[in-house]
Amino acid sequence: MAYIDDVKYATENLISLLGKEKTQIADLSAQLSSAEAKFEHFHWDFKTSDLNDDFTDAHVQRAFINMAEAKKDRDAIDDQVRALKAIIRNRQMALQSLSGALLQIAKQGISIAHGGLGACPDGRMIGQSKLKEVIWQARNQSLHY
């Protein structure tokens, strides 16, 4: 079918980009978790270090120094957290756009090859839904949210 040949390059590249975006979002999410946890760890260590008689004064002093260092870095950490959240949000929007483009290609294939949803074969089941319905409805949802 000519349509498949015409969209093959775009489809393959969209799928590749989708995979890369998902990987980058996962990596950024891990960085975000790490940045958020850094200050919390030092804060917890400081808050709890003097609650136990088993901790020495040196341990409490070290915890205070760690907390002071974390406090000094807090603005930088907060800036990093805000930046990572913005990047993740933008990457998720890009992922949604790429997914919508892929669904549009699939929906257009159904329209060209079968004249619409009614004449299209069902395809495999995805959960409780037929593949053709998933493609059609997901494409509509992605463009008309």
Give 84-122 pLDDT, tens digit per residue.
Answer: 899 999 999 999 999 999 999 999 999 999 999 999 999
Q: What is this structure's pTM? A: 0.69
The closest alpha carbon to 50, from 66, 38, 64, 39, belongs to 64
How many domains is the chain partitioned into structurally? Answer: 1
Query: Quick check: 34 pLDDT over 90?
Result: no
Higher per-residue pLDDT: 39 or 127: 127
65/92 Cα distance (integer angstroms): 38
Q: Which two tokens stand for residue 130?
A: 């037929």
Give ∠ CA 127-9-140 in degrees, rounded to 5: 40
Provide mean pLDDT across the span 2-23.
92
pLDDT of residue 58: 82
Sequential DSSP letters for 95-114: HHHHHHHHHHHHHHHHHHHH
pLDDT of residue 52: 60
HSE-CB of 115 using CA atoms within 13 angstroms: 2
pLDDT of residue 50: 57
pLDDT of residue 118: 93
* Mean of all residue pLDDT scores within the chain: 86
Q: Domain residues for 28?
A: 2-143
Read off the CATH number of the domain in which 69 is found: 1.10.287
pLDDT of residue 31: 86
pLDDT of residue 36: 79
pLDDT of residue 77: 75
Give 38-83 pLDDT, tens digit per residue.
Answer: 777 766 766 666 556 666 778 778 877 877 776 676 677 778 888 9
